Amino acid sequence: MPKENTREQVRENYKRILEHGRIGSIDLKIWITDWFQALVQIQIYYIPEVEGFLVIKDFLQAISVKFLPAWVGQ
């Protein structure tokens, strides 16, 4: 069962990183690096909930917090 525990940890880490992006208090470059490292891990462990379009959607929803305030102010 250690493999399942690791898969769950990878999935939870990915969710945590997305939440940090949504909060918007982390530097965007640092967040993208963290997100990419989590993406590599979910691909290695084949986490089906975050494949294909879902990964792109998660990414865009998380970073929209960084860009939306700038668009609203224009």
Query: Which pLDDT belongs to residue 72?
Result: 46
> What is the pTM for the complete model shown?
0.77
Query: Which pLDDT belongs to residue 70?
Result: 52
Distance CA 15, CA 23 (A): 12
User: What are the φ/ψ torsions at residue 20 (nearest 5 degrees)?
Assistant: -60, -40
Distance CA 24, CA 11 (A): 20
Map 7-40 to HEC letters: HHHHHHHHHHHHHHHHHCCCCHHHHHHHHHHHHH
Range of the domain at 47: 2-72
Tally the domains of the chain: 1
Residue of higher predicted confidence among 32 and 26: 32
Distance CA 69, CA 40 (A): 29
| Each residue's pLDDT tens digit, 40-69 | 999 898 888 777 888 888 888 888 877 665
